[in-house]
Amino acid sequence: MDRRHCLVTGANRGLGLEFVRQLLVRGHHVVAACRQPGKALALNQLAGDHPGRLHVLPLDVGDPRSHAELARELQLVTDGEPLDLLINNAGVLRGGERFGSVRPADLEASLRTNAMGPFLLTQALAPQLADGATIANISSEVGSIALKQEFRTPSYAIGKAAQNMATSLLAQALAERGIKVVALHPGWVQTDMGGAQATLTPAESVTALLQLLGRLEPADSGSFLDWQGQPLPW
Ligand code: NDP
C-alpha cells in the first residue's frame, strides 16, 4: 500500500494501540483518537518516534459533539487530505452481568460506544473519506445472533449486534463512492478486555487484520469476517 491517511479510535491501549504501531511501521500517516491524549503515554512516545506521521487527537466515541470536534481537527492535521482507512476500534465490555440484574446504564453505555459510536462517527467523517476508502468496524463473534451462544455479557452482545447492523447500513450508504465497510472479529486477544488467557497477542491479531484489509475487494463490503478472513454468520 502507498502512504495512506489512517484514523484509529480507542488508540491508547489494546488492539487500537497495536493498529497504530503497525500502521506507522508500514509508513502511513496515522491519527490516533483517544479519550485522554494527555495521559496516552505510549501514543505520545510513538508520536515522538515518528515526527509528523502520528497525531493524537481527543475523541469520546459516545459523544456526538466529540465527533464534530474531531472532524474539524482532522482537517487541520491532514492538510485536507482525505482518509483512506478508518478503524472504529473503541469498545466497552461490562463483565459479570446476570439476567435479572442487567443495569440500564451498562446497556446504554454499550449501545453508545459499541453501536452508535461507529455509526455516527463514520457519518460525521464521511465527507473526509477518500472515494475507495476502507472502514473496519471492530466487532465480535459475540455480536452474532446466528451463532449459538449462552447468556453472557448481554450489554456487550446487544451493542455489537447493533454495530453489525450499522456496518451493513454504512456499506449500503457508502457503496456509490466505492467505500468498503466491514465488520471484523479480531479473535480472542490478550488485552485488558480479552484477558491474559486469550489465545492471540495483539500483534498476531492486528497483523492478520491489516493483511485482510489490504486484500479486500469491493464485493467484500458489508461482510462480517474473522481475523483469518473467514465469513461469520450475522
Ligand atoms: P481494551 O479494553 O483493551 O481497549 C478498549 C479501548 O477502547 C481503549 O482504548 C478505551 O479507551 C477505548 N474506549 C472505550 N470507550 C471509549 C469511548 N467512549 N471513547 C473513546 N474510546 C473508548 O479492548 P481491546 O483492545 O481488546 O478491544 C478493541 C476492540 O476489539 C473492541 O471494540 C472490542 O470489543 C473488540 N474485541 C476484542 C476482543 C478481545 O479478545 N480483546 C474480542 C472481540 C472483539 P480508555 O483507555 O479511555 O478506556
For the question of an ipTM over 0.90, the answer is yes
The answer to the question of residue 40 being in a domain is yes
The answer to the question of residue 233 being in a domain is no
Candidate from 15, 65, 205 with most ligand 1 atoms within 8 A of CB, to mutate = 15
Q: Whose CA is closest to atom 31 on ligand 1?
A: 91
Q: Is 155 in the pocket of ligand 1 (CB under 6 A)?
A: no
Number of structural domains the chain divides into? 1
The answer to the question of residue 88 being in a domain is yes
125: cell is 467523517
Note the pLDDT of residue 149: 77
**Distance from the CA of 10 to the center of ligand 1, in angstroms?**
6
Q: Is 61 in the pocket of ligand 1 (CB under 6 A)?
A: yes
pLDDT beyond 70 at 78: yes
The answer to the question of residue 210 being in a domain is yes
Measured CA to CA, the distance from residue 135 to residue 221 in angstroms comes to 9
The answer to the question of residue 231 being in a domain is no
The 10s digit of each residue's pLDDT in 115-160 is 999 999 999 999 999 999 999 999 999 999 999 778 999 999 999 9
Note the pLDDT of residue 212: 98
Sign of the Cα torsion 66, 214, 188, 49 reads: negative
Domain that holds residue 33: 5-226
pLDDT beyond 80 at 1: no
Which CATH number is 184's domain given? 3.40.50.720
Candidate from 35, 70, 225 with most ligand 1 atoms within 8 A of CB, to mutate = 35
87: cell is 478503524
The answer to the question of residue 146 being in a domain is yes
The answer to the question of residue 232 being in a domain is no
CA angle 123, 81, 78 (to 5 degrees): 90
